[in-house]
């Protein structure tokens, strides 16, 4: 089997993380999500708390307002005054993503991995979405919130993810043109989403 990487961006409650885990098991490859932060912290020597603070779930509003430069790929030397900047923290995480893509087949969840790896021929990018009712139903199984409170929580998380993506890529997170495949998990269900991704992968990479 040829080496490949599948990136999965997802709305909160769409089941993208679950789909990624199921897909990784079926394909027999590694699954990377929050452990990317650990790897980036270990390689850079930057406190993991700083990586968590600049993660896709906790984008700072002031940073999104004043940031001018999108991801360029270069990491800074520890002697730099901007070594622990949000930009450099993202670039270290991006470096980990690129290194993983170089050495192994894997599934990568979120963190603008589709953009970071956009120029590679061995990458398949997926966006998983669903209607509000489905998102609330699924999120309600894991979070002790209901009604308007739950809806507000889901909307807030997705706004943070969209902001994180926009800040680092200059693109709109929900724009279908950013991805190879967009799936509505409410219509297909998680297992069918996995099947669709596998089928697309076979066609995309011309597998027998």
Contacts of 203 (CB under 8 A, 6+ apart): none
Contacts of 162 (CB under 8 A, 6+ apart): 172, 173, 174
pLDDT digits (tens, 9 = 90+) for 57-66: 554 444 444 4
Tokens at 76, concatenated: 């800074």
Tokens at 129, concatenated: 């979405």
Tokens at 193, concatenated: 């989403």
pLDDT digits (tens, 9 = 90+) for 150-178: 999 999 999 999 999 998 899 999 999 99
Domain 5-202 has CATH 3.40.50.1370: no
pTM listed for this prediction: 0.87
Percentage of the chain exceeding pLDDT 70: 82
Which residue is associated with the tokens 């669709």?
196
> Structural domain boundaries of the chain?
5-202
Q: Where would I find the beta strands (DSSP E) of 5-55? A: 5-10, 30-32
Q: Bridge partners of 10?
A: 128
Q: Which H or E run contains 89?
A: helix 86-103
pLDDT digits (tens, 9 = 90+) for 31-52: 999 888 778 777 777 767 776 6
C-alpha Rg value of the chain to the nearest Å:
17
Tokens at 196, concatenated: 């669709």
Residue 33 DSSP label:
S
């Amino acid at each position: 089997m040829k080496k490949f990487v599948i990136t999965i961006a997802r709305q909160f409650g769409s089941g993208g993380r679950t789909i990624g885990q199921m897909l990784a098991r079926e394909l027999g490859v590694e699954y990377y999500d929050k452990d990317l932060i650990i790897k980036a912290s270990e390689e850079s020597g930057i406190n993991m708390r700083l990586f968590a603070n600049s993660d896709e779930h906790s984008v700072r509003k002031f940073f999104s307002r004043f940031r001018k430069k999108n991801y360029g790929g270069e990491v800074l030397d520890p002697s730099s005054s901007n070594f622990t900047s949000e930009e450099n923290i993202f670039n270290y995480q991006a470096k980990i993503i690129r290194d993983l893509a170089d050495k192994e087949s894997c599934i990568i969840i979120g963190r603008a991995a589709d953009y970071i790896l956009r120029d590679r021929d061995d990458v398949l990018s997926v966006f998983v979405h669903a209607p509000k009712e489905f998102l609330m139903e699924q999120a309600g199984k894991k979070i002790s919130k209901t009604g308007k409170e739950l809806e507000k929580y889901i909307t807030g998380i997705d706004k943070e993810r969209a902001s994180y993506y926009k800040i680092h890529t200059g693109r709109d997170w929900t724009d279908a043109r950013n991805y190879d495949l967009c799936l509505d998990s409410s219509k297909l269900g998680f297992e069918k989403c996995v099947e669709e991704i596998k089928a697309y992968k076979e066609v995309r990479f011309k597998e027998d």
